[in-house]
Amino acid sequence: MTQSSELYAKDAQPKGNAPGTSPVKVVVPSRDAGQSEVLASRSGNAGFKREASPKQSREIIKLHKKLKREAGKAIADFNMIEEGDRVMVCVSGGKDSLTMLDILLGLKRHAPINFDLVAINLDQKQPGFPGGVLPAYFEDLEVDYTILEEDTYSLVTSMVPEGKTYCGWCSRFRRGILYKYAAANGFNKIALGHHRDDLLATLFLNLFHGGKLKSMPPKLLSDDGRNIVIRPLAYCREKDIERYAGLREMPIIPCNLCGSQNNLQRQVIEQMLKDWDRQHPGRVETMFRALNNVVPSHLADTKLHDFAGLRITPGLDVVNLD
């Protein structure tokens, strides 16, 4: 077993305080022109906001173990995190990214390898965005963090025609800013909070609207070769994440502050998957297994399989013994 595959091990013991627990300074771009402000943060853990009931505590522990096991398996299967990695954990404030940060911090405390985690939030200046929520949460967690500020909202609203959704351009700008920041600040891994349901929804979006058999991979090298993107929650179900984040009372920030979320095709696909999961238990699990069992020779992509070069292989003659 490699060190990477041991990232989640039942018998792994805590190594004491996680590395990087001393205060560090991180530069945060100011929303005022040309200036920057310095924030201090630490690395560690946070407790619950209120005391959980015994039943809730048992459910929290059960869900945490399940999510950590699934995330650990995904990390090992795809060699997502290695010795000495600097991982930029992108936290939007949604349930997925907040849960990802929580699980990664737990894995880090028991991991047999050393790696750094830094939480990064990009404030895109959407109206009503509660800018103080995540810094306070990160301080409570005692995790290293940086808040980036970039007014992409004004830019997107000026570009997108009225009645159209902002999501495509918003995510494109966000991705560009985060990729650039990671490369400039020595992060060799970028962790995103997409889960198993996201991977399946993307598969069907591309199938229905893009004419491609394509999903979002658990691990991806960016087109320019400067960044490796990892999705540690690739094996985790959304309903488990949602329940866990709710029980932990995480400070979830909605992703519809811009008011541009109506009639998104992704929402239609996600609802379809939820309906299937309710009406046909086990179907979603079976579909996800298909992403791990691709048979190019039984599809029709000539770039993946040499159909033109197929030839009969001479073999033994079949003898009828009757």
Which CATH number do you get for residue 244? 3.40.50.620
Q: How far apart are CA 50 and CA 67, in angstroms?
A: 22
What is the tally of structural domains in the chain?
1
Task: Give the range of the structural domain holding residue 224, as residue numbers without chain letter.
Answer: 53-294
Does residue 223 belong to any structural domain of this protein? Answer: yes
Q: Which residue has the tokens 């022109």?
A: 33
48-62, 271-285, 298-312: which has the minimum mean pLDDT?
48-62
Does residue 173 belong to any structural domain of this protein? Answer: yes
Does residue 314 belong to any structural domain of this protein? Answer: no
Does residue 230 belong to any structural domain of this protein? Answer: yes
Does residue 279 belong to any structural domain of this protein? Answer: yes
**Burial grade of 33 (CB within 10 A; 0-12, 13-18, 19 or more):** exposed
The predicted pLDDT at position 169 comes to 60
Does residue 7 belong to any structural domain of this protein? Answer: no
Higher pLDDT, 205 or 163: 205
Does residue 75 belong to any structural domain of this protein? Answer: yes
Q: How confident is the model at residue 123 (pLDDT cuts 50, 70, 90)?
A: confident
Give the model confidence (pLDDT) of 190-204 as tens digits: 999 999 999 999 999
Does residue 281 belong to any structural domain of this protein? Answer: yes
Q: How far apart are CA 108 and CA 75, in angstroms?
A: 12
The predicted pLDDT at position 71 comes to 98
Q: How far apart are CA 250 and CA 190, in angstroms?
A: 22
Q: Please report the beta strands in 32-187, taking only residues with DSSP state E, as ranges in sequence order.
A: 36-41, 86-90, 116-123, 145-149
SS3 assignment, position 205: helix
| Average pLDDT over the chain, rounded to an integer | 82
Give the model confidence (pLDDT) of 301-322 as tens digits: 999 999 999 999 886 666 666 6
